[in-house]
Amino acid sequence: MGDKVYEVRKIKKKGRGMPLIGDKFPKLEVQTTQGMMKLPKAFKGKWFILFSHPADFTPVCTTEFVAFQKRYEEFKKFNCELIGLSIDQIFSHLKWIEWIEDNLDTEITFPVIADTGKVADTLGLIHPARPTNTVRAVFIMDPKGIIRAILYYPQELGRNMDEILRMIEGFNNIEEKGVAVPANWPNNELIGKGLIIPPPADVESAKKRKEQHTCYDWWLCHRNYYKW
């Protein structure tokens, strides 16, 4: 098992293979609808979400851009920025954004990367069956530029922006409070809006758990989100 892990790490060091959760986001200089940017430096000290879409002027992608924009201010409340990407030229992005504003009354205010294929290739976003398209993916990076989550979707299925926003809020709570986030939070079937307290590190702490927190057992304890 150890040898296999070592071989995987050797491959990654040679530049082969896509970035994984826990990796530093690769340093990239990109052309965007808001000028040249250096990633992840441009978002230093902030969470940021890089999301790729198959192509401009496509139905599902258009609905996603509108949905992201409608929630952009909500993302910002959690110190999070957005940046899109596809293998389209800059003039295509600009024209599509213009079309969205003119026809759907929505101004896209986050940057969109015009990729020649280099960025998508580095991140493993090239669709194997459609080499001219990027897959529908989401990378979530923390303020230190570390990849914290990666999501993939098929071309036919649009993303759930509320889930991505929930993840950012959850990550903020994880970092600020040192907790874990339960399934379907903040509407979990067992603890509602509660957040899970990390397991105890010793026997003495385990004995005191039920006195300090609301618990089903010493290994499953939580505190109410609004009473923190």
The alpha carbon of 166 is separated from its chain's Cα centroid by a whole number of angstroms, namely 10
Q: Is the pLDDT of residue 8 over 80?
A: no
Q: What is the pLDDT of residues 29-70, one digit of tens each?
A: 999 999 999 999 999 999 999 999 999 999 999 999 999 999
Question: Tokens standing for 201?
Answer: 């590190």
pLDDT score of 130: 66
Degrees, nearest 5: CA angle 142-166-184: 130
Rounded to whole angstroms, the Cα distance separating 140 from 21 reads 9
In our burial notation (b when 16+ CB lie closer than 10 A, e otherwise), range 60-75 reads bbbebbbbbbeeeeeb
Instruction: With cut-offs at 50, 70 and 90, classify the pLDDT of residue 131.
Output: low
Q: Any idea what DSSP says for residue 41? A: G
Q: Is the pLDDT of residue 228 over 50?
A: no
Q: Is the pLDDT of residue 173 over 60?
A: yes
pLDDT score of 225: 66
Q: What is the pTM of this model?
A: 0.88
Place of tokens 């098992």: 1
Active-site residue, selected from the candidate residues 61, 80, 215, 221: 61
Q: What secondary structure does DSSP assign to 132-172, as a single string?
A: EEE-EEEEEE-TTSBEEEEEEE-TTS---HHHHHHHHHHHH
Residue from 148, 118, 145, 110 nearest 134 by CA: 118
- Say whether 215 is catalytic: no
Of the candidate CATH numbers 3.50.50.60, 3.40.50.300, 3.90.470.20, 3.40.30.10, the domain formed by 19-160 belongs to 3.40.30.10
Average pLDDT, the chain: 89
Are 151 and 54 in contact by the 8 Å Cβ rule? The answer is no
The proportion of the chain whose per-residue pLDDT surpasses 70, expressed as a percent, equals 88
* Average confidence (pLDDT) over 120-141: 84
**Taking the CB of residue 32, how many other CB atoms lie within 10 A of it?**
20
Question: Tokens standing for 62?
Answer: 């258009």
Secondary structure element (H or E) that encloses residue 223, with its range = strand 220-223
* Average confidence (pLDDT) over 79-84: 98
* Average confidence (pLDDT) over 93-100: 98
Question: Tokens standing for 76?
Answer: 């910002």
Comparing 36 with 2, which gets the higher pLDDT?
A: 36
Instruction: With cut-offs at 50, 70 and 90, classify the pLDDT of residue 207.
Output: confident
* Environment class of 188 (CB within 10 Å of its CB; exposed 0-12, middle 13-18, buried 19+): middle
Q: Is the pLDDT of residue 13 over 50?
A: no
Superfamily for the 178-228 domain: Antioxidant, Horf6; Chain A, domain2 (3.30.1020.10)
Domain positions in the chain: 19-160, 178-228
